[in-house]
Structure 1
Amino acid sequence: MIPVDENTLVNAVDKVSGSVVNIASVRMMHDQLFRVFPVEGVGSGVVIDQQGYILTNNHVIDDAERLKVTFADGKVLRGKVVGTDEVTDLAVIKVESEGPLQAATLGDSAALKAGQIVIAIGNPFGLTGGPTVTAGIVSSLKRSIQARTGVLELIQTDAAINPGNSGGPLVNTKGEVIAINTANMPYAQGIGFAVPINTAKTILKELVEKGRVSRPWIGIASVKVTPQLARHFGLPPSSGGALVAGVEPYSPADDAGLRRGDIIEQIDGSTVDDPSQVASHVKGKKPGSRIAVTVNRYGRQFQVGVEVDERPS
């Protein structure tokens, strides 16, 4: 039982349901005899601009040959991909409409609290009668989930997110979009995940203008220095730092001479206690800038300069 007046939920759904769309995608696949055949997938999206920009998941439209967008009133328009971002699993598509479309209001996901009531809205099959609606609570904030492209920081909710609802909005009781539904755990009961809308806000402009997101990158994977690793490398038990677990060939880190097994102790003069500090520091830099990295290589400490580059697409 959701402890809130049902009129509040109805009003919230009414406010945003006209902005929720079904997205049918056609991909060309090959069978074992290399014959080509079309496969149709379905997902959802939410209109974010009266001119026809729609926010959805990247996996909903990835590799699609054609996109058919169906609105709550039954109107069908052809969609065109404007920008994609694998890292956040977000994408923007655009439709050409004769008149202005109903755009949803984007809220503030930073203001969310665990236990807050949320509503998942989707239009997975383009059926008449409006989108499907489920309600629940925010189960957890900043839940880190390992994805193919890295770690995604997501909102966890117990509002049911069904297949085909990916790309639809998660809204608060004011009818504001606070996240984009992105995945459900196939072997867990009643667990859904959504990308915070503030994450989307930070990249929307780049997706619309450039079609992709430029991210600073140096090309390393690192892990925390545990007491066991400290003993192995002959470091004091209280040593912090980030152990370089991998260096991508031809990356800025590779060019600077960083190696697997190096321990990053400082970055631009700041002590490193956790690998997340390295990632956060690089994230705040612009491609072309340089950072000073203090490295411990089997007991020998030295400093190298690493030029930050743009992450390859």
Structure 2
Amino acid sequence: GQSGAGSGWIIDKDGIIVTNNHVVEKASKLTIELSDDRIFEVATSKVHRDPITDLAVIKIEASNLPAAELGDSSKLRVGDWVVAIGNPLGQGLRAKEGTISGLKVSLPVDVGQTLDDLIETSAAINPGNSGGPLVNMQGQVVGITSAKISGVGVEGMGYAISVKAALPIITQLISSGYVTRPYLGVTLATVTPYLATIYRLPVDKGAAIAYVAPDSPADKAGLKANDIIIRFQNRDIANTGDLLQALHNAKIGEEVTITFVRGKETRTAFPRLIESPPPSG
């Protein structure tokens, strides 16, 4: 297979490294080279990933490593100098400096996947230094750079996930290997005016339920395949992305109000969201 390079940084002296999910997700094996030239071969079972936030942690068999110091990303201001550090294309450590041009930026990275609390910077972020740290002038990590996110942002700008947003995800990946989120238990398809015409649907936008998982919150609340969700809590739902985003912002254990269309009737369901099951595989 192809080989690719990305960057990462040490968050724990006992061998825990943070990087991007997209750097490691397709890898069949990983080789980690530390700044002191030590090399570790890592089985993919030692990699815990969260595709939604593009974060991953890797455990290597090492101790007393120099762990990075974390900074407070909420204290950053537009105009502050930052440095993106990485090992682009395996050429050794490189630092790209720039200033912060935006804070708390939201970007749609994928369908139903909008990332919030991003740091926008003029420091160049490319596939090689992706996953590396964005550091402040005190040398503290304030963000995790991502070329994947930068690819959908403003031309010439780099983007990093703020440490404040990333830390709860990283902590869950270290402790349980995956991230739990609110779970409804449906497979969805977006309703468009075109589909509405062909299938004579009662509405021309919304999130149509293609499948309901047995015993899921959706199932227990009486939602069925072919129902079209048009509101979640008090938020209008025009497509599947809207619904997924609303779900991410909800809480595990919360009873939510879903307005849906079944046939000619508009109805309401009150599912209680549960913790998402572990990812399969």
After TM superposition, the structure 1 = structure 2 runs for residues 200-279 of structure 1, keeping only pairs within 5 Å, are: 200-218=166-184, 219=186, 244-251=206-213, 252=216, 255=219, 256-257=222-223, 261-264=228-231, 267=233, 272-273=234-235, 279=245
Amino acid at match of 1:60: V
Q: Name 1:100's counterpart in structure 2.
A: 64
SS in structure 1 at match of 2:170:
helix
> Equivalent of 1:86, from 30, 51, 54?
51
2: CA distance, partners of 1:245 / 1:54: 38
Q: Deviations over 1:169-189 (max 9, x none)?
A: 111111111111111338964
SS in structure 2 at match of 1:83:
strand
Gaps of 5+ in 1: 1-37, 224-232, 235-242
Q: Name 1:138's counterpart in structure 2.
A: 100
User: Structure 1 length normalisation: TM-score?
Assistant: 0.68
Amino acid at match of 2:52: V
> Equivalent of 1:118, from 48, 72, 82?
82
CA RMSD of aligned residues (A): 3.3
- Greater shift, 211-220 or 170-179, is seen at 211-220
SS in structure 2 at match of 1:115:
coil
Amino acid at match of 2:12: D
Q: Deviations over 1:149-194 (max 9, x none)?
A: 6222332211011331111011111111111111133896422111
Number of corresponding residues: 251
Q: Name 1:185's counterpart in structure 2.
A: 151
Q: Name 2:4's counterpart in structure 1.
A: 41
Q: Name 1:13's counterpart in structure 2.
A: none
Considering only CA atoms, is the larger Rg found in Structure 1 or Structure 2?
Answer: 1
Deviation at residue 108 of structure 1 after TM alignment = 2.2
Q: Name 1:66's counterpart in structure 2.
A: 29
Q: Name 1:57's counterpart in structure 2.
A: 20
Q: Does 1:173 pair with 2:137?
A: yes
SS in structure 1 at match of 2:270:
strand
Q: Deviations over 1:136-159 (max 9, x none)?
A: 112222231332562223322110
Q: Deviations over 1:214-266 (max 9, x none)?
A: 1112247799xxxxxxxxx89xxxxxxxx6323351155753326554432x7
SS in structure 1 at match of 2:169:
helix
Amino acid at match of 1:61: V
Whether the 8 Å contact between 1:116 and 1:138 is mirrored in structure 2 is: yes
SS in structure 1 at match of 2:207:
strand
SS in structure 1 at match of 2:130:
coil
Q: Deviations over 1:57-115 (max 9, x none)?
A: 01111132221111222222223433110000100001112x40000011222232222
SS in structure 1 at match of 2:165:
helix
- Greater shift, 189-198 or 88-97, is seen at 189-198
Q: Name 2:197's counterpart in structure 1.
A: none
2: CA distance, partners of 1:281 / 1:39: 36
Gaps of 5+ in 2: 191-201
Whether the 8 Å contact between 1:215 and 1:283 is mirrored in structure 2 is: no
User: Structure 2 length normalisation: TM-score?
Assistant: 0.75
Whether the 8 Å contact between 1:282 and 1:308 is mirrored in structure 2 is: no
Whether the 8 Å contact between 1:247 and 1:253 is mirrored in structure 2 is: no
Amino acid at match of 1:150: Q
Q: Name 2:126's counterpart in structure 1.
A: 162
Whether the 8 Å contact between 2:106 and 2:114 is mirrored in structure 1 is: no
Amino acid at match of 1:193: Y
Structure 1's 158 and 298: CA in aligned 2 closer, same or farther, altered over 3 A? farther
SS in structure 1 at match of 2:5:
strand
Determine what percentage of the aligned residue pairs are the same residue.
34
SS in structure 2 at match of 1:291:
coil
2: CA distance, partners of 1:68 / 1:159: 27
Amino acid at match of 1:88: T
1: CA distance, partners of 2:21 / 2:112: 12
Deviation at residue 298 of structure 1 after TM alignment = 8.8
* Larger strand percent: 1
